[in-house]
Amino acid sequence: MNTTIEALLNSQIKYEAQASLQYLAMASWADAKGYNGVSDFFYSQSDEERVHMSKLIKFVNERGGNVIIPALDKPKDTYEGLNELFEKFLESEMFVTEQINHVIFECLQQKDYNVHNFMQWYVTEQLEEEAMARTLLDKLNIIGADKSGHYLFDRDINTIAANHTNE
């Protein structure tokens, strides 16, 4: 396996693992605050990121590359409220998108069309996740500091997310 691409895929393994851990911390924060819907949402996002990570691990191993299981940073686990929580969620997804675009760019530079093809799944996935994070943050910005709005957001978030994925 091309060593530049191998290093980039290992970095990507770390970013997906870090996102999974971050969303777990977000789920736990929401759980403790009584936002059960938001908590379920982030538990499930955390699981999805773990799948993104393991898919990469399996791919690198299948291609005969050397996988490095990374050490992770402690995730942020306190938030001022739902608005900050979802701002951080969007930030995290935008960061991952940027990194995936970087991998894709290098695949073309290195003429590694096999990895380029594999990474297309991530491109599609990121488009969906980033759009969903934006939709949820837009809704929270409309709600502002209204407590009953937050109650309804928490009640409806998983329906909003499911409809978004099915669009």
- The least distance separating ligand FEO from the CB of residue 154, rounded to whole angstroms, comes to 21
| CA proximity to 133, closest of 157, 156, 111 | 157
- The least distance separating ligand FEO from the CB of residue 86, rounded to whole angstroms, comes to 14
Question: What track of x and - describes contact with ligand FEO for positions 50 through 89 (by CB under 6 A)?
Answer: --x-------------------------------------
- Binding residue for ligand FEO, selected from 6, 93, 112, 154, defined by CB under 6 A: 93
DSSP E strands in the chain: the ranges are none
Enumerate residues 26-55 that contact ligand FEO by CB under 6 A.
49, 52
Chain-centroid distance of CA 56 in Å reads 14
The sign of the CA dihedral 163, 153, 86, 20 is: negative
CA distances from 10 to 24, 73, 78, 103, 124 (A): 21, 16, 28, 11, 20
- Binding residue for ligand FEO, selected from 19, 27, 136, 137, defined by CB under 6 A: 19
Residue pair 16/48 in contact (Cβ under 8 Å)? The answer is no
Kindly tell me which of 16 and 154 has the beta carbon lying closer to ligand FEO. 16
- The least distance separating ligand FEO from the CB of residue 15, rounded to whole angstroms, comes to 7
Under the rule (CB under 6 A), what is the footprint of ligand FEO? 16, 19, 49, 52, 93, 96, 129
